[in-house]
Amino acid sequence: MGFWSTLADLFRGESVKPLPDLESSAEGSAPHDLASVWIRQIVDRRVPLVRLTRGPVEGIGRAWFADGTVLLVRSVPTGRLIAAAVACRSARVLVTGPGPGSDACLRWRGGCTPIVVVGPDQAD
């Protein structure tokens, strides 16, 4: 739902879909944190990774997605983000569900890099 359609719905008095409840959980056992909500939305919408650049700290990268979301991520094990950064230049890189010890995987034809989301970042 885009901004203008949401605004139009508000003026017409129609209900607008609420933001995800961060206090509830998918399985009813543990509360969600923001990182899992961001990743779940990116996975569900199949938003491609546009580029992966150096982050503010060694071992951390900035993941820039096509919808404007920018997240700070690190790879598991450390040092594998370079493969995803190179793949962004020539292939479509998508985020898939969580793997062992990671929040998600950056996946492209011929490779996969498990990542952990450190937090949000602002687009410069």
CB atoms < 10 A from the CB of 59, how many?
A: 11
The model's pTM is 0.70
- Whether residue 4 is contained in a domain is answered as no
Residue 65 lies in a domain: yes
CB neighbour list of residue 75: distance below 8 Å, 6 or more residues apart: 61, 81, 84, 113, 114, 115, 116
Query: Model confidence over 59-108: pLDDT tens digits?
Result: 999 999 999 999 999 999 888 999 999 999 999 999 998 888 888 999 99
Q: Is residue 10 part of a domain?
A: no
Contact 106, 116 (CB under 8 A): no
Burial class (CB in 10 A: 0-12, 13-18, 19+), 76: middle
pLDDT, one tens digit per residue, over 38-73 is 888 999 999 999 999 999 889 999 999 999 999 999
CA distance 71 to 94: 14
Q: Is residue 50 part of a domain?
A: yes
**Is residue 33 over pLDDT 60?**
yes
Total number of domains in the chain: 1
Domain housing 96: 33-120
Q: Which residue is associated with the tokens 């209900």?
A: 15
Q: What helix, strand, coil percent values describe the chain, rounded to 5?
A: 25, 30, 45
